[in-house]
Amino acid sequence: MDFNVKKLASDAGVFFTRAVQFTEEKLGQAEKTELDPHLENLITRADSTKNWTEKILKQTEVLLQPNPIDHTGARIEEFIYDKLDKKLPSRTTNAELLGQYMLDAAIEFGSDTPYGKTLITVAEYQKRLGGAEREFLHTSAVTFLSPLRNFLEGDWRTISKERRLLENRRLDLDICKARLKKAKLAEAKAALLSEEVDKAEHELRVAQTEFDRQAEVTRLLLEGISSTHLNHLRCLQDFAEAQATYYAQCHHYMQDLQRELNRCANAVSAPHSSASVCPNPVSPAFLSGPASSGAAVPAASSSSSQKPVTLAMEQSQLPVTGARKARVLYDYDAHDTSELSLLADELITVYTVPGMDPDWLIGERGNEKGKVPVTYLELLS
């Protein structure tokens, strides 16, 4: 017990002496040992790395989860699982939740009604968007957020600890320098024995050695910031790639959804069209009145079976304008004989004909010819 009290008193004395030295330095009443310029530059660079890493991490979290305190209690849930040291379960995204609401609404309104069918289709694509978002959030957390957070909670804490220790060693060194200076002045006035000066010189040498050793340890840690930058660079590239993949998937899904709904609208606006020529489900804005009744199905089926032949004949008779090469971006399966199936990365010849829907082009591959969606192509000069 006595030992602990003595140690506590000793530590308190050291702390007080350092505080006095620090205060006198700030007031310009004591000399301060300056660090090596290279070490000072490393410290400045490390501080900048820490500060910007914190800002980038925080803003990325806001980007990925813009409403942390919403009805799902996302941040609260993350905090609880983090404290329990358990893996956070996969959370339903807002797009998936919207898709589920649409499915429930379709069931209540009737899944065989035009509105119900369209709700089901849109719900399917909302769930695909939600799945893509969940994958993007997971990938970003693993490849980008976690490395940045690990640096702040791991490497930076170690660096901060060694820097505090270095600062204490510097204060101790300056205290020893001040003591030796006072001892030599007293010796000159014959107020002290030479043993006191020798003791002060010995304490100074010990303090200098400890300071130099700690400065070297701190320098090695700070030089590791360069490796941290390289690691964060790779993480940044992975994050950008995940982001590009996510937005490309969203664009692809939404183009597919628009194409299905537009196909339904075009089928309804054509003569003798009916619900049978529209892919399920369809929007009520596209189908209304007797056109969606079952009595019209046979006639519509007959007209739809003749439509591709008529379209092909019209295409062969109309003049070709602006023929050029195009690279296919995604696979595309033709929905009827008037269209041309596509394979990603293949090259085809495309052109338009007067009066044609601007969202479509005529594509040719050898002896095969048919309509192709513009959004699936990259036009080459």
Which of helix, strand or coil describes residue 340? Answer: coil
Task: Give pLDDT, residue 300.
Answer: 36
Task: Give pLDDT, residue 284.
Answer: 36
CA 76 to chain centre: 21
Neighbouring CB atoms inside 10 A of 83's CB total 8
**Inter-helix orientation angle 225-269/114-140, to 10°:** 170
Tokens of 261: 């709904």
Write out pLDDT tens, residues 335-366.
Answer: 888 899 999 889 999 998 887 888 889 999 98
Spatial contact of 308 and 360, defined as CB atoms under 8 Å apart: no
DSSP 332: B
Task: For 218-237, give the secondary structure using H, E and C.
Answer: HHHHHHCHHHHHHHHHHHHH
pLDDT at 1 over 80: no
Q: How far apart are CA 219 and CA 185, in angstroms?
A: 35
Provide the terminal-to-terminal Cα distance of the chain, rounded to the nearest Å. 87
From the CA atom positions of the chain, what is the Rg in Å? 37
Which of helix, strand or coil describes residue 183? Answer: helix
The mean-pLDDT minimum among 49-53, 73-77, 85-89, 130-134 falls in: 73-77
Average pLDDT over residues 216-245: 94
Task: Give pLDDT, residue 306.
Answer: 40
Find the length of the chain.
381
Average pLDDT over residues 57-64: 90
The mean-pLDDT minimum among 30-39, 57-66, 98-107, 319-328 falls in: 319-328
Average pLDDT over residues 62-89: 57
pLDDT band at 90 (very low <50, low <70, confident <90, very high): low
Write out pLDDT tens, residues 161-171.
Answer: 999 999 999 99
Using alpha carbons only, what angle is made at residue 139 by residues 133 and 142, rounded to the nearest 5 degrees? Answer: 140
pLDDT band at 370 (very low <50, low <70, confident <90, very high): very high
**pTM for this entry:** 0.61
Signed CA dihedral, 111, 112, 116, 117: sign only: positive
Q: Could you tell me which of 143, 142, 130 has the C-alpha nearest to residue 250?
A: 130
Tokens of 172: 């101790």
Task: Give pLDDT, residue 111.
Answer: 83
